[in-house]
Structure 1
Amino acid sequence: MQRLLKTAFLMLTIAALGSCQKKDNTVAPNEATTPEAANPHTALKSTTVTTEAALKAAISSAVAGDIITVSGTIYLTSTLQCLNSGTSSSKINFTGGILDCSGLPSGSWGVKVNGSYWNITNMTIRKAPDCGLVFQTGGYNYVYKVITTGNGDSGLQIYNGSHDNNISYCTSTENYDVADGGENADGFACKLSAGVNNLFDHCTANHNSDDGWDLYGQPYKVTITNCTATNNGYGTNGDGNGFKLGSAGQVVPHTVTNCTSSYNKAAGYDGNGNTGHITITGSTGTGNGTTLFYRIY
C-alpha cells in the first residue's frame, strides 16, 4: 500500500509540473497587445502649438487626458471645432494663448465645442465675426479664466442641448453685433435650447452691446453665482439688462446668488416675462437705467 501511495504522489507531482511549464499563447479578443493599450496613460500627449495648422491637427486627434497648449497668438482662418470627447475621469485639456478670429469668414464662430469632457482654460478668444466660444452639443465641460472679447455676437454661448457645463472665473467684454445695432451680443448667453445643469460662477460681463447674461427661451434652470454684470447695453438696439432671466411664456426657476449688477442700460435683474419662481439671493447692484429688480416672480 505504501509503495502505491508513493507512486500516485509522484505521478501527480509530474502532472502539476507539466501544467505549470505549459505556455498559453492565445490572446483574448480585447486583451492588450501593446504597451500603450496595456497602460493607456503612455499614449497620452502634451503638445504646444504656435500655428493654426498645428492647433487644428492637435485638436482633431485629441483623446482623453491630452494637453494642448497655445503659445502666443494664433490667427484662425476658419472655426476651430472641438468634436472629440474626453471622459469623466480624464478630460481633454486645451489651454493658454490668444485665438484671434478676425480673419474668419463673415458669420463664423470662433471656437465650437460639440464634444464632452473638455477643460478649456487660461486663454483669450477675440474678434470672431459671430460668437466667440459656443457649446453647441455635448456636456460636462469646464471653462476657467477664459476671456471672450470684441466678438460680433455673444462672447460665450451655450445652446442646442449642451448641458452640465461649468463656466468659472471667465470674462466677456466689448462684444457687439454691428449689423443689428447691438441687439444680440451678450456677455454670456445660455438661451433658446441649452440643456440642464449649466452653471456660471465668479464670471464678469462688462460693456457688451446687449445683456450681460441672456437666458431668453432657456427651457431648463441655469445657476448663476458670484457673478458681476456692469455697463451692458451700449448698442443702439441693445436691451441692456445685467441679468435677463428668461422670456414670456416660460416657467423656469433660475437661481442667482451673491451677484452684482450695476450701471446697465436697463434693469439689473429682469425676469423678462418668465413666471417661474426665480430665486435671487444675496444679490445687489446700483445705477441701473430703469430699476434693480424687474418682473421677478
Structure 2
Amino acid sequence: MALLACVAFISCKKNETLTESNELNASSKKQTTTFASYTVTTEAALKSAISAAAPGDQIKVSGTIYLTSTLQLLNSGTSSNKINFTTSNGGILDCSNISSGWGVKVNGSYWNITNLTIRNAPDCGIVLQHGGYNYLYNLKTHANKDSGIQIYNGSNNNYVLSCQSYDNYDVANGGENADGFACKLSGGVNNKFESCTANHNSDDGWDLYGQPYTVKILTCTATNNGYGTNGDGNGFKLGSAGQTVAHTVTNCTANNNKAYGYDGNGNTGHITITGSGGSGNGKGLMTRIY
C-alpha cells in the first residue's frame, strides 16, 4: 500500500509540473512582437535604416531625398512579416546626383515598396534583380534614363500594382531602351503587373524581351510610347524571336503608340490576349500574336 501511494504522489507532481510549463509557454506566445519604425529625411539616415531593416520593420521617406549612389535593398523580410518601405507625405527619391547605375536595386525578398516617386536615375529607376515575393504599389517612376520599373535576372513572384511609369528616356541610345515597365532578360517565374499605366516612354510601354517565363499583365494601359528617335514604340512587347513563352494580357488598353498596340516580337508561344484593345497605334493593333 505504501508503494502504491508513493507512485500516485509522483504521478501527481509530474502532471502539475507539465501544467505550469504549458501555462508559461502560452503566456510567452501571447507576447507582442515589436517592429522598428524609421522616418528619414536624408540619404545617410535612409541607407542606415535600409541596411538595418529586419522583418516587419517600416521605413518612411519624408520629403525629397537626393541619392548620390544606388539605394540597395539587400536583406529580406518573411512571408508573414515583410519589410515596409514607404512614405509619410509623398516621399521622393531623386537620383539626379547618382553618376551612373540604377536608382534603387532590390536583391532581397519580401519587401512592400509603396507610394514613392523615383525619378532622374542615370539608368533604370528601380530594378528587382534577385530574390522575390516583393510588392510594388502606387510607385511613380519618371524621367529615368532607362526603364522605370524592371524585373530582371531571376527575380520571381513579384506583384506590381497601380504603378505609373512615364517620360523615361535613354538619351545615350536615342530612346532605344527606356520602357515604362520591363520584365526581360531572364526574369523569374510568376511575375504580374496589374492596373498600371505606361505613357510617353521612349521605347515600349511594356517589354518582355528575352523573358523565359510567363508574365501576367492585367487591366494595364500603354499610351503614346515610342517618342525616342530609336524607340520601337509598342504598347506591349510580348517576348522576342526564338522564344516560346505563353504570356497573358487581360483587359488592357493600348492607345496612340508609335508602332503596334500588342507585338509578339517573334515569340511563338501561345500568347493569350483577352478583353484587350486600343486605337490610334501607328502600325496597327496587333502583330505576330500566335
1:47 maps to amino acid: Y
Distance in 2 (CA, whole Å) between partners of 1:86 and 1:222 is 24
How many Å separate the matches in 2 of 1:280 and 1:81? 36
2:86 paired with 1:95? yes
Match 1:218 to one of 211, 223, 236: 211
Describe how 1:132-281 pairs up with structure 2 within 5 A: 132-281=125-274
Alignment of 1:46-57 (within 5 A): 46-57=37-48
Partners of 1:262 and 1:189 in 2: CA distance: 18
- What pairs up with 1:103-122 in 2 under 5 angstroms? 103-106=97-100, 108-122=101-115
What SS does structure 2 have at the residue aligned with 1:112? Answer: strand
Using the TM superposition, give the Cα deviation of residue 21 of structure 1 relative to its aligned residue in structure 2, in angstroms: 10
The separation in 2 between residues aligned to 1:222 and 1:49, in whole angstroms, is: 35
Change (3 A) 1:257 1:20: closer
1:62 corresponds in structure 2 to 53
SS in 2 for 1:54: helix
* 5+ long unaligned stretches in structure 2: 18-24
- Letter of the structure 1 residue corresponding to residue 259 of structure 2: A
The alignment yields a C-alpha RMSD, in angstroms, of 2.0
4+ residue stretches of structure 1 with deviation over 3 A? 7-22, 37-40
- Matching residue's letter, 1:210: D
Counterpart residue number, 1:80:
71
Letter in 1 for 2:95: C
Q: How far apart, in 2, do the equivalents of 1:18 and 1:123 lie? A: 60
Match of 1:25 in 2: none
Question: In 1, distance between residues paired with 2:74 and 2:31?
Answer: 25
TM-score w.r.t. length of structure 2: 0.91
CA distance in 2, matches of 1:170, 1:50: 23
- 1:242-267 Cα distance to aligned partner (Å, 9 max, x none): 00001111111100000000000000
Cα offsets for 1:202-249 (capped at 9, x unmatched): 000010000000001111110000000000000000000000001111
Q: CA deviation at 1:192?
A: 1.0
C-alpha change, 1:9 and 1:276, in structure 2 (3 Å) is: closer
CA distance in 2, matches of 1:241, 1:264: 6
Deviation at 1:47, TM superposition (A): 1.2
Q: 1:20 to 1:252 in 2, by over 3 A?
A: closer
**2-side partners of 1:92 and 1:105: how far apart?**
28
Deviation at 1:67, TM superposition (A): 0.9
Identify if the C-alpha distance between structure 1 residues 15 and 242 changes in structure 2 by more than 3 Å, giving closer, same or farther: closer
Q: TM-score, normalised by structure 1?
A: 0.89
- Give the distance between the partners of 2:106 and 2:30, measured in 1 at CA: 30
How many equivalent residue pairs?
278
Structure 1 stretches of 5 or more lacking a match? 23-31
Distance 1:244 1:13 in 2: 78
Structure 1 residues 291 and 47, CA gap change in structure 2 (3 angstroms): same
Distance 1:18 1:225 in 2: 64
**Aligned pairs (5 A) from 1:22-61:** 41-42=33-34, 44-61=35-52
The residue aligned with 1:27 is none
Give the structure with higher Rg (CA). 1
Which AA in structure 1 matches 2:285?
A: L
Pick one of 109, 117, 121 that aligns with 1:124.
117
- CA deviation digits over 1:127-167, x for unaligned, max 9? 00000000000000000000101001000000100010000
